[in-house]
Amino acid sequence: METLKIDCNQTKMIAHRGLSGLERENTAASFIGAGNKSYYGIECDIHKTLDGSYVVIHDSDTYRVSGIKKIIKDSTLEELKSISLYDVESNKPKDYLRIPTLEEYLEICNKYEKIAVVEFKYEYSEEEIKEVIEIVNKKHFLNYTIFISFNLKTLLTLRHVSSYVNIQYLVSEFSDEVFEICKKNHFDLNIHHLAVSQLLVSQLHQHNIKINVWTVNNPIIALMLISWGVDYITTDLLE
């Protein structure tokens, strides 16, 4: 199996949880796979461990990706690193597939010159947000990172902490309230592709709001969105 290449025009493609259509999501393998492709950016999800580390995983526990259930917030980094994750093809644990740290993910993005797209998975405190910002800043990658979240309070706290970091508000549907939030707080929009219209893209661009659409794996839908002028497409497989 291989990625499906399309004519992206000016639209920037974001690899969803890395090259998750081919490799186990949110692993070094998926991030390196995306790094070796033409993607503009690589998206990931982060959680905080019991001992204060930030690890890259979508769910709040490890069961779906490993068959072993460890709650991230109740587990140490060492405990989580000891778990082998399922390979996509065989659905069997492989020793080389482990949960990465945020630092390891950023190092891969840096090596392959990809923009980092980091999703806050829940409501983070101001202290935790500052910790994440410090990790990214120590890697000299703050100007090459986009932060995203469904949790509005987290994004508002993030904007309070930093007036200049790139932020995209994750939503499933568009509304006047979402529009006003983006305008007021200098957020871009990250929205489900089924909620997007050509008129919406034009409306956002008139107010200098960029639009990222998720998660698009159908090339016909992707080409339509590209023709509308969306700024980013988040995808598991398209390139």
Note the pLDDT of residue 82: 98
Residue at 2 is within a domain:
no
Residue at 96 is within a domain:
yes
The CATH number of residue 89's host domain is: 3.20.20.190
Note the pLDDT of residue 1: 74
Nearest to 56 by CA among 87, 92, 30, 22: 30
Q: What is the pLDDT of residues 129-147, one digit of tens each?
A: 999 999 999 999 999 999 9
Domain count, the chain: 1
Rounded distance between C-alpha atoms, residue 140 and residue 160, angstroms: 21
Q: What percent of the chain has pLDDT over 90?
A: 100
Beta strands in 72-165 (DSSP E): 85-86, 93-94, 115-120, 145-149
User: The tokens 């790094």 sit on which residue?
Assistant: 35
Note the pLDDT of residue 183: 98
- Beta strand 41-48 with 115-120 is parallel
Mean pLDDT by 10 residues, the chain (239 residues): 93 98 98 98 98 98 98 98 97 97 98 98 97 98 98 98 98 98 98 98 98 98 98 98
Domain limits at 68?
12-235
| pTM score | 0.98
The answer for residues whose C-beta is within 8 angstroms of residue 111's C-beta and 6 or more apart is: 35
**CA-to-CA separations, 203 to 29, 74, 179, 217, in angstroms, rounded:** 38, 44, 10, 25
Note the pLDDT of residue 121: 96
Average pLDDT over the chain, rounded to an integer: 98
Residue at 5 is within a domain:
no
Residue at 6 is within a domain:
no
Nearest to 136 by CA among 60, 70, 46: 46
Q: Which token pair is 4?
A: 């499906």
Residue at 90 is within a domain:
yes
Which residues lie across from 115 on neighbouring strands? 41
